[in-house]
Chains A and B, each alone.
Chain A
Amino acid sequence: MITLRVAWRNLWRNRGRTGITLAAMSLSTAVMILTYALMLGMITDMEKSVVEVFTGQVQVHNPAYASEHSLYDTISRPQAILDKARSSGIAASVRAFGFGLVSSGPNSAGVQFWGVNPQAERSFGKLDEALLEGGFLPDAPGMRVVLGRKLARTLGAKVGTELVVVVQAADGSLGNDLLHVCGILKGVGENLDRSLALIHEQDFAALFVFPGRYHEIALNSHGRMTPEEVASFIKGAAGTDEVKTWRQLMPGVSDMLNSFDGFSLIFEVVFFLIAGLGVMNTLLMSTYERIPEFGLLKAIGTTPWRILREVSAEALILGIFSSSLGGVLGACAAWYLSRNPIDLSGFAEGFSTSGVMMSAQWGAQLTIAGIVWPIVFMWLVSVVAALYPAAKAARLDPVRALTHV
């Protein structure tokens, strides 16, 4: 107890020094908390953007569809899966896929048709908001189509353009029809940008002569459950159909997010190094300046062990104050940035990379670990940086310590 009291008084004896050290430690802690939250926010945003737009956390397919992409490999019991999802409030979207050739004037392209229910798609994801021009599919069928961005460019199509479409229908006949472009999507991923044509599920059924059959059910609990939990919850209702999480379905994107983790780890290490070195130098300097003082203490009979105890007590008190101050400061800054994301749109609008649609808004994400780790790290650094010179002084001959500069 007396150690703490002496340490406390020692700290107040030189307010300038204590103030500087305290400021250095708190500010570094705050900055570490902030950068950690910013890194985490960037990664979480990316993950969210993969899942929220149209992929969902989990998808159900006929196991044969993945390898064959055949029109006939449909989901066997879509209704059972939908009922199960609805029972626990998981959002679901049902889709049918078919391949066809679309042309507009002299331009033509192979496209992937998605037959969707516009209403369900709207409440499921954000595809209806990701429009470059025009609007999303209306709720009623009417041979309208929403095109992927690059596909529209290839076809030279704009909103209102009439497209000629040729498909091989399920009964073997050649389906031939006209579609009107009602909207063009923003970049949502390379594959879809190049080939996606969204149409109403009833139009799809008519075009492909294929009513009531679906190839994909996408599910999203919107954050209430993890993808794995959703998958195991749905599995019972899926029967022979395959239930996979987005990480299993898109290993490339999953890898990309993992490597961003790797990059941010490197960044984080460098940040901690800079912050740690700053605090270490400040503390080293302040303890070194006091070596004559320690010499005096030794000269009047203080044991080396006691000097160490006092210095550690000082570091402890400094640590408590600076981590509360820095913790609050950093947490507030991170919290502010989680509510008011940094706007990077001055650099560029949102865009997509390898199927991940990124927004130009960059928010922070604050977690308990993101506060605790920087504080623990700062304590370790400060104790080591204070104890090293103190231990040196404690072993020095009092006379040498007294005249030490």
Chain B
Amino acid sequence: MGTLRMLVILAWRSLWRNKRRTLITVSSIAFGTALALFLISWADGMYRKLIDSAVRMNAGHVTVERRGYNLAPSLSLYVPSVERIRTVARDLDGVSRIKPLVTGQAMVATGSASAGVGLVGVDPAVEKEVSPIARSIKAGRYLEPGDARGVVLGLTLAKRLDVEPGMKVVVTCNDSTGELVNEMLVVTGIFGTGMEEADGFLIQVPIAAARRIFRLGPDAATQVGLVLTSPDRQGDVLERMNASLAGTGLVALPWQEVLSDLASFMSVDKGSNYVFQGIIIFLLSFTILNTILMSVLERTREFATLLAIGTAPILLRLQIVMESAMIGIIGTGLGLAIGGGISLYFEIHGLDISPLIGKNLSVTGFTVDPVLRNEVSVRLLSWLGSLVFGLTLIVGLYPAYRSARINLPDALRSR
């Protein structure tokens, strides 16, 4: 115990005997950690935002639908009672909104042109709270619950069909029994989300109108989306929904299966991110090694003196390990504080990169806001912190080994 105490004291004092050297080493670790933290939290923030707007626009973090609908969507595979899902989901922790959807394919025609579209029946009251579409109306207004024949469509589609709010369009499609139906609708608004998929291919109508057009029951839907308070609740909600849906022919699916394109984009992008993170960590550990090794080499004379007066080599080495540990703790802590502070600032205020990239960016049809927000989490801080600290300890072993391997007479003579 006494030895350990002595080691700690010795290490601490030696660190501050040459403040500049210690500060340089500490700052290497701190800056490296801070930059790595910034970059990683930045990427995490981007993913979170992307997922959030995508699931809000589509079928939620968790989607309840009939088994098999995901692979071959057909109107004959529908959820018969939204109300039943609602009663189950309402009481689940973490579910913030429930959005029933009726989705089908249709052709929209005006006097001058026609186009194939995805027709989505939505609950306007819910959409207004969750969907980016309701928030990006460029002309007219979004759907109201009372609109029996209202329809909103995207800018690109509106241009192709040459329609404005107030004009009529004819929707042609097969209903759930396979009959061809025609329905006249009135454009109430035009949205511009900047997403190719939405602006060019999507039309939204009130869910009652969609049920009427597709001849579905008054409480039926093709999908029921659950928007969660936090993506972390997904596993929990999925499990509980599936438990209560057992035997009904319905399943609850994660968004990763419903929006498989987005999920595979994210995983490939994450893959390339891991490569870059690996390179950063490599550079960082190399810098740590360099600075610690250099400061040990510069202290040859000091170590020679210690060894000459009878310090056991193992004690000297332990002292160096202790010094590295202290430097590691201070550097990592400082780095996490600086990096976390900067990232937190940008998490709250956002980093506007639009001057850099020009316009909105859309990935797999989902817009990425040019204002980037970092995402700092306790998990990130703890794994990055322990990784850097661990690296410092491992990397400090070699200098510790070197410290006691010196030629005493030479070292003592040199200045």
Name the contact of A110 in the complex, choosing from B71, B116, B176, B286 (C-beta under 8 A).
B116
User: Does B178 lie within 8 Å of A187, measured CB to CB?
Assistant: no
User: Scoring B residues 364 to 391 as 1 if CB is less than 8 Å from chain A, else 0, what string do you get?
Assistant: 1100000000000000000000000000
Say yes or no for A90: interface residue by CB 8 A criterion: no
**B33, chain A: closest CB distance, angstroms:** 10
Interface residues of B in 271-310 (CB under 8 A from A): 271-272, 275-276, 279-280, 282-284, 286-287, 290-291, 293-295, 297-298
Contact status A110-B290, CB under 8 Å: no
Give bound CA distance, A354 to B91, whole Å: 38
Contact string, B26-40, partner A, CB cutoff 8 A, digits 1/0?
Answer: 011001100110110
Cross-chain contact A274 with B267 (CB below 8 angstroms): no
The one of A17, A190, A286, A342 in contact with B275, judged by C-beta atoms closer than 8 angstroms, is A342
Give per-residue flags for A8-26: 1 if the beta carbon is below 8 A from chain B beta carbons, else 0: 0000000011001101100
B residues within 8 A CB of A273?
31, 35
Q: Does B246 contact A (CB under 8 A)?
A: no
| Contact partners of B415 in chain A: CB under 8 A | 292
Q: Which residue of B lies closest to A193 (CB)?
A: B261
Q: Which of B105, B160, B178, B290 contacts A24 (CB 8 A)?
A: B290
Q: What's the dominant secondary structure at chain B's contact region?
A: helix
Is B74's beta carbon under 8 Å from chain A?
A: yes
For A270, what are the chain B residues with a Cβ–Cβ distance below 8 Å?
35, 38-39, 280
Q: Which residues of B are found within 8 Å of A194, using beta-carbon distances?
A: 116, 118, 201
When distances are taken between beta carbons in the complex, the residues of chain A under 8 Å from B76 are: 106
Question: A229-271 interface mask toward B, CB cutoff 8 Å, 1 = contact, 0 = none?
Answer: 0000000000000000000000010011011011101110011
A185 within 8 A of B: no
**Interface size of A by Cβ–Cβ distance < 8 Å?**
75
State whether B290 touches A288 (Cβ < 8 A): no
Which of the 9-residue segments A212-220, A276-284, A365-373 touches chain B?
A276-284
The interface bits of chain A over 371-405 (1 if a CB of B lies within 8 angstroms of the residue's CB, else 0) are 00000000000000000000000000000000001
Q: Are A348 and B267 in contact (CB under 8 A)?
A: yes
* Min distance, Cβ A331 to any Cβ of chain B, angstroms: 16
- As a 0/1 sequence over residues 192 to 224 of chain B, the CB contacts with chain A under 8 angstroms (1 = contact) are 000011001100000000000000000000000
Q: Quick check: is B270 within 8 A (CB to CB) of the other chain?
A: yes
B290 and A271 contact, CB distance less than 8 A: no
- B313 contacts A by Cβ under 8 Å: no
Is B73's CB within 8 Å of the partner chain A?
A: yes
Report, as a range, how many residues of chain B touch the other chain.
35 or more
| Least distance between B248 CB and chain A CB atoms (Å) | 23
Is A109 an interface residue, CB under 8 A from the partner?
yes
Cβ 8 A contact of B361, one of A255, A344, A358: A255
Provide the residues of chain B in CB contact with A252, threshold 8 Å: 196, 362
A103 at the interface (CB under 8 A from B): yes
Is A275 touching B72 in the complex (CB atoms < 8 A)?
no
Pair A256/B363 contact, Cβ less than 8 Å:
yes
A277 partner residues in chain B, CB cutoff 8 A: 28, 31-32, 287
Residue of B nearest to A15 (CB): B297
Residue of B nearest to A39 (CB): B276
A354 pairs with B107, CB closer than 8 A: no
User: Judging by beta carbons under 8 Å apart, are B290 and A153 in contact?
Assistant: no
**Which of the candidate stretches B57-65, B322-330, B350-358 sits at the interface with the other chain?**
B350-358
Q: B96 near A: Cβ within 8 Å?
A: no
Q: Point out the residues of chain A lying under 8 angstroms from B287, CB to CB.
A: 24, 274, 277-278, 281-282
List B contacts of A282 (CB < 8 A): 287, 290-291, 294
Question: Which of A23, A101, A351, A352 meets B290, CB within 8 Å?
Answer: A23
CB B41 to nearest CB in A, in angstroms, measures 12
* Cβ-closest chain A residue relative to B260: A351
Stretch touching chain B among A30-38, A77-85, A118-126 = A30-38
Report the minimum CB–CB distance from A287 to chain B (whole Å).
11
| Known contacts A24-B287, A281-B24, A344-B271; A35 and B115 CB within 8 A of each other | no
Task: State how many angstroms separate the Cβ of B267 from the closest Cβ of chain A.
Answer: 4
- Give every chain A residue within 8 A of B361 (Cβ-Cβ): 255-256, 259
Contact of A355 among B71, B196, B263, B267 (CB under 8 A): B196
- Indicate with 1 or 0, residue by residue over A330-361, a CB within 8 angstroms of chain B CB atoms: 00000000000010101111011111001010
6 nearest CB pairs, A to B = A110-B116, A278-B287, A259-B357, A348-B264, A106-B178, A347-B271
Q: 9 pairs across A/B with beta carbons < 8 Å?
A: A17-B297, A255-B359, A267-B276, A274-B31, A281-B27, A281-B290, A351-B261, A352-B364, A353-B363
